[in-house]
Amino acid sequence: MRLVMTRHFLRQFALLALVAVFLLPSAPLNADSGNGLNCAFTPNLPECASPIVYGVEMRAIEAEMAINPAPDLPRLPVDDRLIYRRPFRRVEKPTTIHDAPNGNVIGAYPEGFIFVVAGKGVDGWVQVGRDAWVQESALGPINKAVSRFSGVLLPNGLPTRPFAWMLLDTRPSRTPGAKPVAGTPEIKRYTMVNIFAVAVVDTWEWYLIGPDQWVLQTRVAKVKPLARPEGIEAGKKWFAVDLYEQTLTAYDGDKPVFATLIASGLPKWGTLEGVHKIFARYEEARMSGAEGKPEYWYLPLVPYVMYFNTSEQALHGAYWHDGFGYRRSRGCINLSITDAKWIYEWVEDQPNAYVYIYHSGTYRPGAPQ
């Protein structure tokens, strides 16, 4: 037998639920349950089409959205002179190296992921080192993938309201689990959004980021608070690297002071979890690996490198991609050049700062498209 409640009781119940969500903003709501709590946040769902549901509950959330439509956090300024100071070019196909334009062959670049610092060009040739030249047709564009992304300072710690970055250009849905409405404007990648409520549809979380704007969890990277783990001394600086969300948060003792997106190791080259300490720092360093294999890689002048484990994994800037928020490295923690410079300078007074690598969730297939 279906339980029948008075309109007054349901209205009070929904208002109490609203307060609970504001106090515990990351607590999931079951979007497919069809109860009064759910309908307070999703009145457009078919199962919510009932005269007992009032707009007052949604208006309270919309008032919060109007006051705080997006995170009010200062973004690190991007210095184009810094991020474009080196003319990096990818070697896009195997090619020979010559001692001069049309000169003698002195070596070769094999197949792999290889970058060079490009010098002057002469008649279709580019200088890539002292007495080292390659044909320009073998090289990609200058600084093709340098990222202008940067993270945010947290002057007052993490906000009460959870926030995230969009990882893909996304058309939001009017209700959790629904397809986007045709013609809905896209929210662009790297846009910062507040999360006002959470609903669960078929085990996947959907986030309310604006009026009638729901997005799937896999389309955002959410910054999550974290207590200082065992093994990190009180009062010390440390980095929390969430491999599930692909975020980094810098902590000064127990206070978060900075947050950003990262790109960690691919499954084949996973970033090692646990508490680590930085043991070596370089403003620029050459990185290479898998010599003689198809996956050979060679990256000169990698900026702001801080090694933190014996597997030669490091925090560092990346000039070769703009794919932050996704796994794509050989095990290191990639950051934008802007972010890498900030964290490098931030720990100058504590060069052996801690790095805590962890998963806040479990990767799984089958997310709705």
* Predicted local confidence at residue 181, as pLDDT: 86
Mean pLDDT confidence for 7-14: 34
* Cα angle: 252, vertex 253, 258; to 5 degrees: 30
* Predicted local confidence at residue 63, as pLDDT: 87
Mean pLDDT confidence for 49-76: 74
**pLDDT digits 0-9 by tens, 247-287:** 999 999 999 999 999 999 999 999 999 999 999 999 999 99
- CA dist., res. 102 & res. 362, Å (int): 54
> Which one, of 241, 266, 267, lies nearest residue 328 by Cα?
266
**pLDDT digits 0-9 by tens, 111-153:** 999 999 999 999 999 999 999 999 999 999 999 999 999 999 9
- CA dist., res. 92 & res. 173, Å (int): 40
Q: Which of 48, 98, 276, 316 is catalytic?
A: 316
- CA dist., res. 71 & res. 192, Å (int): 7
- Give the list of residues 6+ apart from residue 333 with CB closer than 8 angstroms, or none: 241, 248, 262, 263, 264, 271, 313, 314, 315, 316, 355
Catalytic annotation on 321?
Answer: no
Residue 314: is its pLDDT beyond 60? yes
Q: Which of 40-49, 239-248, 355-364 has the lowest mean pLDDT?
A: 40-49
7 SS3 class: helix
Name the CATH superfamily for 71-86+143-156+223-362. L,D-transpeptidase catalytic domain-like (2.40.440.10)
- CA dist., res. 129 & res. 97, Å (int): 10
> Which one, of 226, 53, 97, 76, lies nearest residue 152 by Cα?
76
CB 137 within 8 A of CB 106: no
Quote the pTM value. Answer: 0.85
Give the dihedral of Cα atoms 229, 258, 354, 287; nearest 10 deg. 130
- CA dist., res. 241 & res. 277, Å (int): 13
Which of the four pLDDT bands, split at 50, 70 and 90, describes residue 56?
low
Q: How many residues does the chain have?
A: 369
* Predicted local confidence at residue 122, as pLDDT: 96
The residue that leads in pLDDT, 54 or 322, is 322
CA distances from 82 to 78, 152, 186, 328 (A): 8, 18, 31, 23
The residue that leads in pLDDT, 117 or 28, is 117
Please state the domain extents for the chain: 7-67+159-221, 71-86+143-156+223-362, 92-136
- CA dist., res. 88 & res. 143, Å (int): 5
Mean pLDDT confidence for 345-364: 97
At 112, which amino acid appears? G
**pLDDT digits 0-9 by tens, 174-218:** 999 999 988 899 999 999 999 999 999 999 999 999 999 999 999
Q: Which of 8, 39, 332, 359 is catalytic?
A: 332
- CA dist., res. 223 & res. 330, Å (int): 23
* Predicted local confidence at residue 32, as pLDDT: 39
